[in-house]
Structure formats: structure tokens, C-alpha cells
Amino acid sequence: MEINTLSVSYFKLSILVLFNPFKIFQAEIKGLSNVEKVLLETADGVMETKRKLEFGVQQIIFKVTKIIFKVTKIIFEVTKIIFEVTKIIFKVTKIIFKVIKMFLR
């Protein structure tokens, strides 16, 4: 009877040894499945952050472009004023030169 009990124990032990790796493998697959879910969630978060950053950069570029356009108009107007003042200074200088020339004769 002792041999029979011993053989049953060995049989149970061999079944445990055979199926234990499968249970470990099954647990690993579940773990990998969880890792996959976490990676997908992380990737979604990264893509969402990327979209938000791209939108923010587009908004900044739009606003900077508007500012550059306004400043360019101002610079153009100031340049026109400077040109007109220069023309006036040239005319005044010409008149002063004529007056000085008249006195020197």
C-alpha cells in the first residue's frame, strides 16, 4: 500500500511539475497584456501631448506673424516720414546755400 501511495504522490508531483510552467507562462502572458495596455495608454497620452504642442506652436506662429505684419507697416510708415523729412532738409539746405552764396558775392 505504501508503494501505491508513493506512486500516486509521484504522479501528483509530476503533474505539478508539468503544469507549473504553463501556469507561470499564463501569468507572464497576463503580465504582458497589462504592459501592452499601459504602453498603449502612454502612447495615446504622448500623441495627445504632441497634438497640443503642435496646436500651441501654430498659435504662436500665427500671433508672431500678425505682430511682424503690424511692425512692418509701422516701419514702412516711419521710413516714408524719414524720407519726407530728408527731402525737406535737402530743400532747406539748398535755400540756405543760395542765401549764403548771395551774401558772399
pLDDT in tens, 35-76: 778 888 899 999 999 999 999 999 999 999 999 999 999 999
Q: Given this model, what pLDDT does residue 56 score?
A: 96
Please state the pTM of the whole predicted model: 0.53
d(CA 87, CA 25): 90
d(CA 3, CA 47): 65
User: Quick one: average pLDDT of 6-31?
Assistant: 65
User: Quick one: average pLDDT of 14-35?
Assistant: 68
Q: Given this model, what pLDDT does residue 8 score?
A: 59
